[in-house]
Structure 1
Amino acid sequence: MANSLPMTLRVYRKLSFAVVPLAPALIKRRLKLGKEDPARVGERRGVSNDVRPRGPLIWIHGASVGEVLAAAALIEKLRALNIRILLTSGTVTSAAIVARRFPPDIIHQYVPYDSPRFVARFLDHWRPSLALFIESDLWPNLILSSAARRLPMVLINGRMSHRSFPRWRRVYATISALLGRFDVCLAQSEVDAARFTALGSRNVVTTGNLKLDVSAPPADPAKLERLVSATRGRPIIVAASTHPGEEEMLLEAHRTLKGLFPSLLTVIVPRHPDRGAAIARVIAASGLKAGLRSREDVPTAASDFYVADTLGELGLFYRLAGIVFMGGSLVEHGGQNPIEAVKLGAPIVHGPHVFNFTDVYEALDSAGGARRADTQEALVKQLGQLLADPAARDSQIRAAERVVEQLGGALERTLAALEPYLLQLRLEMGAGHA
């Protein structure tokens, strides 16, 4: 295999092997930053305390929370076939979401650091029967070592952003050597499919975006009732998955809108909960009052803002919302997934930077299922119009629901594309019982 690799990957493999002695220092630093679980750092070196279950094992890998949740409905379908699932991801937050939202028989492991030694140890232990990589988290050693073992690999919900595509084109030999190891690439859109083909994918099929088929996120009924009681009668804007630079704009929008809606409450759910205290300090410095959920505050009549700096509670706040502003869109992050908010009946406002979900937002905007705000003034205008007009909110919700229904179906198409592999696993299971 090594001789057939481009120089970039040969150098990468040598360097990633050579840096193994530095792994303890890296882990120590990441532990200090809260980016590793001290009880599970061995998994980063391919060491596991869990036992591999008997029979076929499907390995599903996603980078973090968004990718893991995108695969939730697919995982449920695979579980129904009585095939065990190994789910890997790379962040502490994604591990917490798996523990909270997934059945206990789903085995979660942190993906090993991408060194040949750690990857080999991981593969030796788990011996997966089929590997499904979600979207575009392409670790070279993980891919090359799996391919060397003739492990069938499929890229599911494949996405190639407009930023990543030109960068990868400049190193075509590198990316084509990786993508060419996948049996099939299941792309989110025709644009993604064309990009994967141009970068060397051998067999590309457009199946759609699995995030359109996700179930609405859950909410604890008791916690919801407590919040509803505390905020009853107040207009509420929920700013979901916000990023640095957006909270200041929302603060100014709140100031303006409060003149028209004196009891307005703005709930900020930061994409990274550890920013909650800093956001609350910015709000307090502006002379407005904010509660902090991580301190178990509850909104009071005096609260202007409520900072929901906890993990896995977006379903709670989408249900509370009169309007949802989707974060990551006023800054050049690329936007966040609006589908869960739509499924919970929340009208959506977003900024101009939604390139991570271009097709979805274009369809929503053109159908009147979402409103785009390119500037601070437009943000105030769009939010103000929706706050003032319940009929407009209802009309927008209905339009958004129709769009999501029309764009759905990725789950069924993905399962159809995987059927040859699943059939083989079922045959192996039958042979094992014979």
Structure 2
Amino acid sequence: MSMDWRRLLWRGTGHLLAPGVHLWLRRRADAGKEDAARLPERFGFAAMARPQGPLIWCHGASVGEAQALLPLLQHLHAARPEITLLLTTGTVTSATLVQQRVMQGLLRGVIHQFVPVDIPHAVDRFLDHWRPDLVLWSESDFWPGILAEIQRRDIPALLVNARMSERSCRRWSLAPQTARWLLRSFRTVYAQTAQDAERLRRLGAADVIEAGNLKEAAPPLPANAETVMQWQMTLGNRPRWLAASTHPSEETQIADVHRALKSRFPGLLTIIAPRHPQRGPEIAAALNAADCSIALRSRSEAVTEATDIYIADTLGELGLWYRLCPVVMMGGSLIPHGGQNPLEPARLDCAVLFGPAMFNFSEAVAGLLEAGGAMQVRDGAELTAALSILLKDPAKTAKIATAARGYAGGQNRILDTLRDAALRFLPARLPAP
């Protein structure tokens, strides 16, 4: 029986659900979960005309996937500046991040659109307008209607940075034909790890290559040079460290560490950059109750000699804080969250610390520890001990930071692999007239 029945089923169901989807999106816009001004993009309407020449459509569901794709897009642009790179995401936060990078001149040749909802008229309108020559789909954000239409139109597609947990694999195994049908949308699947590759093959992916993790291949996070210089003058030689991308319940542990170290390191400044910046006032309220002197960046509060903890509750400034702090503790690792990307501070000459729960970045953790570019602690007491050593011994800190940068810099081969794979599907560059 032809697999085309799945596409027909999707189209029929999608037409029936369309009125409800329209209402749902408008309610999300009213709640601030969608960009009301750009809501037509979710229905496939384009904000601009399609540029002439080859166009690659790249999709990353949210902030993490989009950030992982950005270095690849810049790699493609450097190789072939005439190619248009269309990046779609599905969240307001990811759109804000991309637009910030575009306005700062850090993304060239990239157009951002919101991904269309997976109903027929929205997908058809999107594909009819943009007519992509190649699709780069990221991780495991599988939308059956979109992938079915890509198959029907015979648009080459690659699944990049692909991942498949054992739990997800078991779920997909309950519908093996559907899993195989979706994965056959992709000419080649570039998996993050050998385990991901094996599971994807088990589900029916035809051509799977273990390529590595795009999140481990990226240029250093950006920062405004003038802002960095101003902060360096403000802080001078003051001892300082950063707790980056923290999550609820970690900040109180960090405040305890600060109090334990404060008497040993006069003038110590602890900077907390929460994973979700909107939590800044909430964190300040909790830590003020613990008799810490707090300042918030979102309120433009100055850092004085009396400031104990500075809460960097703004979006897109981690590159600034990494450049200012020689020692960085990765948030999400003192609780069972899975950690945050330790290679970001490693690229910017930071000695990296993390707690026991780094399972989302297990390969990067193993590589950094083997290279001598990081230290792992079990709890707040061990974090206090490690910070005491590093803040007391700048030479040791610099040695760890150098090893971290060396390991992080070696993870960029995947960019060349995916760039070359993508360009094989596009026409060769024409000679200049």
TM-score of the two chains, using structure 1 as the length reference: 0.90
Task: Give SS of 2:425's match.
Answer: helix
Between 1:18-27 and 1:266-275, the stretch displaced more is 18-27
Give matches, 1:391-402, under 5 Å. 391-402=395-406
1:136, 1:203 → 2: CA distance?
16
1:109 matched to 2:110? The reply is no
1:291, 1:18 → 2: CA distance?
52
User: Shift of residue 128 of structure 1?
Assistant: 0.9
Residues 19/380 of structure 1: CA separation in 2 closer, same or farther (3 Å cut): farther
Q: Where does structure 2 lack aligned partners over 5 or more consecutive residues?
A: none
Q: Report the residue type matching 1:75 in the other structure.
A: L
Count of aligned residue pairs for this structure pair: 427
Q: Paired residue for 2:96?
A: 96
Q: Report the residue type matching 1:65 in the other structure.
A: V
Q: Paired residue for 2:139?
A: 135
Cα pair 2:30 2:36 within 8 Å, conserved: no
Q: Paired residue for 1:205?
A: 209
Q: Paired residue for 2:54?
A: 56
User: Shift of residue 33 of structure 1?
Assistant: 3.7
Residues 98/370 of structure 1: CA separation in 2 closer, same or farther (3 Å cut): same
Cα pair 1:329 1:354 within 8 Å, conserved: yes
Identity of aligned residues (%): 42
1:349-368, Cα deviation, whole Å (9 max, x unpaired): 11222222211111111222
Task: Give SS of 1:216's match.
Answer: coil
Picking from 382, 386, 389, the partner of 1:385 is 389
Give matches, 1:125-274, under 5 Å. 125-161=129-165, 164-274=168-278
Residues 355/170 of structure 1: CA separation in 2 closer, same or farther (3 Å cut): farther
1:409 matched to 2:407? The reply is no
Task: Give SS of 2:298's match.
Answer: helix
Cα pair 2:158 2:186 within 8 Å, conserved: yes
Task: Give SS of 1:295's match.
Answer: coil
User: Shift of residue 389 of structure 1?
Assistant: 2.1
Q: Paired residue for 1:282?
A: 286
1:82-128, Cα deviation, whole Å (9 max, x unpaired): 11111101122221222222336411001112223322221122111
Q: Report the residue type matching 2:204 in the other structure.
A: G
Give matches, 1:2-21, under 5 Å. 3=3, 15-21=13-19
User: Shift of residue 284 of structure 1?
Assistant: 1.6
Q: Report the residue type matching 1:426 in the other structure.
A: A
Q: Report the residue type matching 1:297 in the other structure.
A: E
Task: Give SS of 2:424's match.
Answer: helix
Q: Paired residue for 2:301?
A: 297
Residues 26/237 of structure 1: CA separation in 2 closer, same or farther (3 Å cut): farther
Q: Report the residue type matching 1:267 in the other structure.
A: I
Q: Report the residue type matching 1:124 in the other structure.
A: D
Residues 167/263 of structure 1: CA separation in 2 closer, same or farther (3 Å cut): farther
Cα pair 1:227 1:298 within 8 Å, conserved: no
User: Shift of residue 58 of structure 1?
Assistant: 0.5
Cα pair 2:75 2:415 within 8 Å, conserved: no
1:261-291, Cα deviation, whole Å (9 max, x unpaired): 2422121112222222211221122221221
Task: Give SS of 1:151's match.
Answer: coil
TM-score of the two chains, using structure 2 as the length reference: 0.91
Q: Paired residue for 1:426?
A: 428
Between 1:307-316 and 1:91-100, the stretch displaced more is 91-100
2:143, 2:305 → 1: CA distance?
50
Task: Give SS of 2:238's match.
Answer: coil
Residues 296/133 of structure 1: CA separation in 2 closer, same or farther (3 Å cut): same
Between 1:166-175 and 1:84-93, the stretch displaced more is 166-175
Q: Report the residue type matching 2:23 in the other structure.
A: A
User: Shift of residue 170 of structure 1?
Assistant: 4.4
User: Shift of residue 13 of structure 1?
Assistant: 6.1
Residues 78/264 of structure 1: CA separation in 2 closer, same or farther (3 Å cut): same
Residues 419/27 of structure 1: CA separation in 2 closer, same or farther (3 Å cut): closer
User: Shift of residue 237 of structure 1?
Assistant: 1.6
User: Shift of residue 49 of structure 1?
Assistant: 2.4
Cα pair 1:57 1:83 within 8 Å, conserved: yes
1:280-320, Cα deviation, whole Å (9 max, x unpaired): 22112222122111112232212111111111111101001
Give matches, 1:330-349, under 5 Å. 330-349=334-353
Picking from 34, 37, 41, the partner of 1:36 is 34
Task: Give SS of 1:76's match.
Answer: helix
Cα pair 2:65 2:138 within 8 Å, conserved: yes
Cα pair 1:135 1:155 within 8 Å, conserved: yes
Residues 254/34 of structure 1: CA separation in 2 closer, same or farther (3 Å cut): farther
User: Shift of residue 324 of structure 1?
Assistant: 0.8
Q: Report the residue type matching 2:409 in the other structure.
A: E
Residues 140/406 of structure 1: CA separation in 2 closer, same or farther (3 Å cut): same
Residues 52/312 of structure 1: CA separation in 2 closer, same or farther (3 Å cut): same
Q: Paired residue for 1:68?
A: 66
1:294, 1:33 → 2: CA distance?
22
1:28, 1:250 → 2: CA distance?
40
Cα pair 1:328 1:336 within 8 Å, conserved: yes
- Let me know the Cα RMSD of the aligned residues: 2.5
Q: Where does structure 1 lack aligned partners over 5 or more consecutive residues?
A: none
Q: Report the residue type matching 1:27 in the other structure.
A: L
User: Shift of residue 11 of structure 1?
Assistant: 7.1
Picking from 304, 324, 327, the partner of 2:331 is 327
